[in-house]
Amino acid sequence: MIVGSRESQLAMLQTEEFIRRLKKKMPEIECETRGITSSGDIDLKTSLKDMGGTGVFVRELDDLLKKGEIDVTVNSLKDIPAFIDEELTIGAVLPRAAVEDALYPIPWEKLSCGAIVGTSSMRRAMMIRARKPDIRIKDIRGNMNTRLQKVNDEVYNAIVVAKAAMDRMGEDLNVYPIDKNIVIPAAGQGAIAVECRKDDKETLEILKKVDHAKTRIEVTFERDVLRYMNAGCSSPIGVNAEVTEDDEIKVLAASFVPDVPVRLSETFPVDDAPEKAKEIAAKLMRK
């Protein structure tokens, strides 16, 4: 199996996690990792919004997958557009890690008036400003190590990162999770997705061995909300679903489309998820 991945440290760690889980189920399988540099990794000056926002980190991998040059791709699910190419499908979702966003190197409570906070995410920026309007948001690009260094160089007072990313990298740093009621996570945040060709039945059967049912339910709901809103993964929308032990789904969601926010919190049976996704999307769009 040829596994496509971005070449960043985090992406490779996620790919290693997928291969490790797969080999645990199928010790005999042979995997080869092929790294690529995405357009989102090359252009570090243009904002993600101006680059088209949706799919800038996965386009090149998707092209290789469609051409048959690789068998699967491994990505952070939050980077995969809600509407994926009709030739492709998400064959597996690994067990979800932490869903929260986090601040480095100071906690939310210590963000002072006028502090410069780095993030390239409109969702994060708008939710932070909604609670702390005096914070200055400054765009930041680059891999995780580059962004951390910019804080150490005092270009920023703090940066926003995904808690799951820091956990996977094993960085022993002062990273402080932000309450998800304050900054609602992106759809799919904390989950690793494995894509393959829709007509590759053999690979699809293999990927079923590492697909995590609870995570699949959660992220499917979150991505359904985005699809009903016709929104991209870079839109200022947060939606987080959590399956409880009582077979219910607890949802937090917020939309800044348009700029005046809509926030909601709901709990409902898992079986109601398909209809509830449509209903919640309508509420977020004020329809």
Catalytic residues: 78-79, 123-124, 141, 147, 233
**Nearest-angstrom CA–CA distance, 77 and 49:** 18
Angle at the Cα of 191 (from 245 to 76), degrees rounded to 5?
A: 170
Q: Are 264 and 280 in contact (CB under 8 A)?
A: yes
3-state secondary structure of 166: helix
Residue 31 burial (CB < 10 Å; 0-12/13-18/19+)?
Answer: middle
Here the contacts of 105-112 (C-beta below 8 Å, separation 24 or greater) are 105/151, 105/158, 105/173, 105/174, 105/175, 106/157, 106/158, 106/174, 106/176, 107/176, 108/176, 108/178, 108/179, 108/182, 111/135, 111/157, 111/158, 112/157
